């Protein structure tokens, strides 16, 4: 059986901040979904949706599955289990916070358009990162190192080792850089603006539009957060059909869509792919 940690094990190694966020999730899930949904922690390779062939690169994500016949939120991390059961509190609480924010009044936006689907997921993730960082900080956890690490990798890939990073998806790559401009440490944000964007003219305009748009809204307010999403997609892809949903409704659909299948190796589980990258190596 693939190794994973139960909620009790997570609480044992985490700080009071982790315990508080786990309790926040359970309270919100009970209030919004009518059932208290427990949490487990496992490797991203435990999920049949997250093979290297399906999702290359580093992936950190959450999925709903059935564990012992109960709907369960699985936090699936790239590094968990690779070097033994090492607990990354910052990354764990970041991924959990995406789900907390979704049930706490923040909305989602996306599109089925093949050119812009990945960008929509990246924009939805970006919009949640300000409330996520605030939630972590409120519970004594500094979430910024995630963004600093990715920003440093972007700088090395696009500037210091030219050609190391190719353009994977213009919209999604641009929004990822915009995300780090908004959420990484000031010195790294400045380097992204002054060194990276000039080096990648293909994506510069989109990144600058998203950053400029975000400055007009309070992303900590659910209503203004949605206004930002609406404004941003009209700036970067006005001809695309975008769909909005409340975060709570999106989570309800995932939980309701659980089907019997094999998820964690060797154990009967159920799963659905929520379609959201949440690639928060990132």
User: Where do the structural domains in the chain lie, given as residue ranges?
Assistant: 4-104+248-270, 112-241
**Can you tell me the distance from the alpha carbon of 151 to that of 32, in angstroms, rounded to the nearest whole number?**
35
- Each residue's pLDDT, cut to its tens digit, for the chain (282 residues) gives 367 899 999 999 999 999 999 999 999 999 998 889 999 998 887 767 766 655 556 788 999 988 888 889 999 998 887 766 789 999 999 999 999 999 999 999 999 999 999 999 999 999 999 999 999 999 999 999 999 999 999 998 887 765 545 557 889 999 999 999 999 999 999 999 999 999 888 899 999 999 999 999 999 999 999 999 999 999 999 999 999 999 888 888 888 877 434 343 333 333 323 334 445 444
The whole-model pTM stands at 0.87
CB 97 within 8 A of CB 135: yes
Q: Which residues contact 276 (CB under 8 A, 6 or more apart)?
A: 61, 108, 110, 121, 124, 125
With residue 32 as reference, give the H or E element that holds it: helix 16-33
- Return all residues near 207 (Cβ < 8 A) that are at least 6 apart: 174, 175, 177, 178, 181, 197
Question: At 256, which helix (H) or strand (E)?
Answer: helix 247-256
């Amino acid at each position: 059986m693939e190794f994973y940690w139960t909620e009790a094990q997570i609480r044992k190694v985490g700080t009071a901040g982790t315990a508080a966020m786990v309790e926040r999730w359970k309270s919100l899930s009970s209030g919004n979904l009518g059932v208290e949904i427990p949490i487990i922690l496992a490797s991203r390779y435990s999920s049949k949706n997250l093979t290297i062939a399906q999702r290359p690169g580093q992936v950190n994500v959450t999925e709903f599955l059935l564990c012992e016949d109960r709907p369960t939120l699985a936090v699936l991390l790239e590094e968990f289990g690779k070097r033994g059961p090492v607990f990354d509190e910052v990354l764990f609480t970041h991924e959990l916070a995406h789900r907390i924010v979704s049930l706490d009044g923040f909305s989602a936006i996306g599109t089925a358009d093949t050119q812009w689907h990945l960008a929509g997921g990246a924009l939805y993730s970006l919009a949640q990162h300000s409330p996520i960082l605030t939630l972590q900080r409120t519970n004594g956890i500094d979430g910024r190192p995630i963004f600093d690490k990715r920003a440093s990798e972007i700088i090395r890939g696009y500037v210091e080792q030219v050609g190391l990073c190719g353009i994977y998806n213009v919209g999604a790559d641009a929004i990822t850089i915009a995300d780090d401009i908004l959420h990484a440490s000031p010195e790294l944000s400045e380097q992204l603006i002054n060194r990276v964007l000039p080096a990648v003219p293909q994506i510069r305009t989109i990144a600058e539009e998203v950053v400029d748009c975000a400055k007009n809204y309070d992303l900590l307010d659910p209503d203004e957060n949605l206004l930002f999403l609406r404004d941003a997609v009209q700036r970067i892809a006005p001809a695309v059909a975008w769909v909005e949903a409340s975060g709570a409704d999106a989570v309800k659909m995932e939980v309701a869509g659980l089907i019997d299948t094999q998820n964690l190796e060797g154990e009967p589980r159920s799963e659905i792919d929520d379609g959201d990258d949440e690639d928060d190596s990132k």
